[in-house]
Structure 1
Amino acid sequence: MNRHLIASLAAGLFATSALAQVTVTDPWVRATVPAAKSAGAFMHLQSATNARLVSVSTPIAGRAEIHEMAMENNTMRMRAVDGIDLPAGKPVHLASGGYHLMFFELKRQLKEGETVPVTLVVQDAAKKRTSVTVEAQVKPLTYVAPAMQGHHGH
């Protein structure tokens, strides 16, 4: 009986991934100092069909938002956005200096080496929403993601 339950659960996990049609690679969150109230999260997304990242959540923060860095009056500023388009078959990079995720009202310090669950909500062209949860690795405060040769942000 246990074997059948495990097989059913595994099949369910694969079905959820197939429904989402979004591949998430290299998810990570920057470690924080003890009193920090916010942290940034980064990853690579690719959707099989035209879709849109419309929201994000994590149990380690009171609030999570999708952000972008943009020039405003000759100054680079961070601002919340209502979503990020995920064009079919094209990689979208959430990286420092471009689109990224922000976690506010942190409930605890994020320490290097641990993982943090992050749930992404993706909406397809028919307005159907699917949740994808990933485990983001907490990287050191000084971590710099490897350069993405041939990729220019989003």
Structure 2
Amino acid sequence: MNMRRFTVLALGSLMVSGAALAHADAAHVKADNVWARASVQGQQASGVFMRLTAQEPLKLVGVETSAAAVAEVHEMKMDGDVMRMRAIEALELPKGVAVDLKPGGYHLMLQQLKAPLVKDTQVPITLVFKDAKGAVSRLSLQVPVRMAAPSGAAGAGGHSHAGHGDHQH
């Protein structure tokens, strides 16, 4: 009787830990070229940028940070000849497709900053995702604060080596 009960308990905990191993609340997402724009004194908001590549179809549905009272996923796009910015409910991340969050496009917006974002510091940010079944997963990042995008990042105007050595004589 006791042995049988033990087996059921052991199986139960195996199933739980198996599920935890499969997802462990950690999103199957790679984040590259992550950076936050340094804010200036008195500025209440700043943007966070990165390239996200999901290993399964996911939606980015939220942002959590202790650095700001409000953190949202935003979209910037031209509406006629006016650039508009708005919060969006979810950003689709197709499987294996790199999605850029960059200045002038999709990005994370931190508003009501609790303190200025100072260059060469880091900001803790957690991205919240949902999969097709609605299961929530998270990706926690320590985001470097910079004045501009790291070279090689989308929209960074990376170093161009064209023009070296082809001077007109």
TM exceeding 0.5 = yes
* Unpaired segments ≥5 residues, structure 2: 1-19, 156-169
The size of the alignment, in residue pairs, is: 135
Q: Percent identity?
A: 37
What's 1:135 paired with?
142
Match for 1:39 among 31, 46, 49? Answer: 46
State how 1:105-124 maps to structure 2 within 5 Å: 105-124=112-131
Matched, 1:51 2:62: no
Q: Equivalent residue of 1:126, what SS? A: coil
- Structure 2 partner of 1:63: 70
TM-score normalised by structure 1 residue count: 0.80
How far apart in 2 are the matches of 1:71 and 1:32?
Answer: 24
Offset, 1:84? 0.4
Query: 2-side partners of 1:148 and 1:66: how far apart?
Result: 18
**CA-to-partner distance for each residue in 1:109-139, whole Å, 9 max, x for gaps?**
1111000011100100111001111011000
Contact 1:41–1:100 at 8 Å: present in 2 too?
yes
Decide whether the 8 Å contact of 2:72 with 2:110 is kept in 1.
yes
- Determine the C-alpha separation between the residues in 1 that align with 2:99 and 2:58: 11
Q: Take 1:82 and 1:31, find their aligned partners in 2: how far apart are those partners? A: 25
Matches of 2:115 and 2:153, distance apart in 1: 30
Question: Does the 8 Å CA contact 2:35/2:149 hold for their aligned counterparts?
Answer: no
Give the superposed CA RMSD: 2.2
SS in 2 for 1:57: strand
The 8 Å contact of residues 34 and 108 in structure 1, kept in 2 or not, is answered as: no
Judged with a 3 Å threshold, the aligned counterparts in structure 2 of structure 1 residues 36 and 116 are, in CA distance, closer, same or farther, namely same
Q: Which residue of 1 aligns with 2:95?
A: 88
Q: Could you tell me how far apart the structure 1 residues matched to 2:35 and 2:154 are?
A: 15
Q: Which has the larger radius of gyration?
A: 2
Give me the whole-angstrom Cα distance separating, in 1, the residues matched to 2:78 and 2:93.
22
Report the Cα distance in structure 2 between the residues aligned to 1:116 and 1:144, rounded to whole angstroms.
Answer: 15
Mapped to 1, the partners of 2:40 and 2:154 lie a distance apart of 27
Deviations 1:33-56 (A, max 9, x none): 121100000011011111100000
Report the TM-score, using the length of structure 2 for normalisation: 0.74
- For residues 66-115 of structure 1, what are the alpha-carbon distances to aligned partners after superposition, in whole Å with 9 as ceiling and x for unaligned? 00111213211111111100000000110001100000000001111000
Could you say which residue in structure 2 is the equivalent of 1:76?
Answer: 83
User: Runs of 4+ in structure 1 displaced over 3 angstroms?
Assistant: 144-149
